[in-house]
Chains A and B, each alone.
Chain A
Amino acid sequence: AQSVTQLGSHVSVSEGALVLLRCNYSSSVPPYLFWYVQYPNQGLQLLLKYTTGATLVKGINGFEAEFKKSETSFHLTKPSAHMSDAAEYFCAVSVRRGTSYGKLTFGQGTILTVHP
């Protein structure tokens, strides 16, 4: 079985500051890793994903994440926060094979607040 832990249910930054949202995962088989963003009362939108290959993944809106197998982490970063980045962010894991193939397990979410 796989699991995801997002450290910090709320993160607050100033506009222009670095954004760092933390995600650690547990999986008994090689994982696929995802970050999604959700604006109020809307569905989830994919920011980026790691499947295979390069461990530094670039996504939309200037976000990126690095897969670190030794640390079982997939932290999301953005060099400079914008007011429009205020939203809830979810880290998720799925597996490459087995009976759970294709199923996503989500973290509990991190609400990002951006101050002017």
Chain B
Amino acid sequence: DGGITQSPKYLFRKEGQNVTLSCEQNLNHDAMYWYRQDPGQGLRLIYYSQIVNDFQKGDIAEGYSVSREKKESFPLTVTSAQKNPTAFYLCASSSQREGRTGYNEQFFGPGTRLTVL
């Protein structure tokens, strides 16, 4: 079955540590996205990538970094510069090609809950 996987489901980090969240998709989608979710604030876009080896900052990119070396993978690193990283992180993907499944809609992974100790 095609879909998006995120790992780990739960992640604990000590202050001052960098951590990397994994996101993989086998939907052959061109675009991938990272969101942060906090209670009562909806989803906020961290980074997005519309093509391999290219990505753009979203609304809250400070303290985060990404890479897009493969079409299927879009890992997110939460750095020590992120002052309040405890949140639920969601990865999504979509097709930018008209006629393809998922055109103009985003498919979401199950999420990673990050807690800073």
Residues in B whose Cβ lies below 8 Å from that of A51 = 104
A83–B110 Cα distance when bound, in Å, is: 22
A84–B80 Cα distance when bound, in Å, is: 40
B113 CB within 8 Å of chain A: yes
Q: What's the dominant secondary structure at chain B's contact region?
A: strand
A94–B33 Cα distance when bound, in Å, is: 14
- Report B's interface with A, CB cutoff 8 A: 4, 6, 31, 33, 40-45, 48, 50, 58, 88, 90, 92, 94, 96, 104-111, 113
The answer to whether residues A32 and B104 also contact, given A102-B94, A103-B45 and a CB cut-off of 8 A, is yes
A44–B45 Cα distance when bound, in Å, is: 14
The answer to whether residues A43 and B40 also contact, given A49-B105, A102-B50, A103-B45 and a CB cut-off of 8 A, is no
B108→A43 contact, CB < 8 A: yes
A-B contact pairs, 16 of them (CB 8 A): A32-B104, A34-B105, A36-B108, A41-B111, A44-B90, A46-B105, A46-B107, A51-B104, A90-B43, A94-B104, A102-B50, A102-B94, A102-B104, A103-B33, A103-B58, A108-B40
B43→A103 contact, CB < 8 A: no
Residues in B whose Cβ lies below 8 Å from that of A41 = 88, 111, 113
User: Binary interface profile of A, 96-116, with partner B (CB < 8 Å = 1, else 0)?
Assistant: 000001111011110000000
B108→A90 contact, CB < 8 A: no
B40→A9 contact, CB < 8 A: yes
With contacts A43-B90, A90-B43, A104-B43 known, what are 14 further pairs, Cβ within 8 A?
A: A41-B111, A43-B108, A43-B111, A44-B43, A44-B92, A46-B105, A49-B105, A51-B104, A94-B104, A102-B50, A102-B94, A102-B96, A104-B33, A104-B106
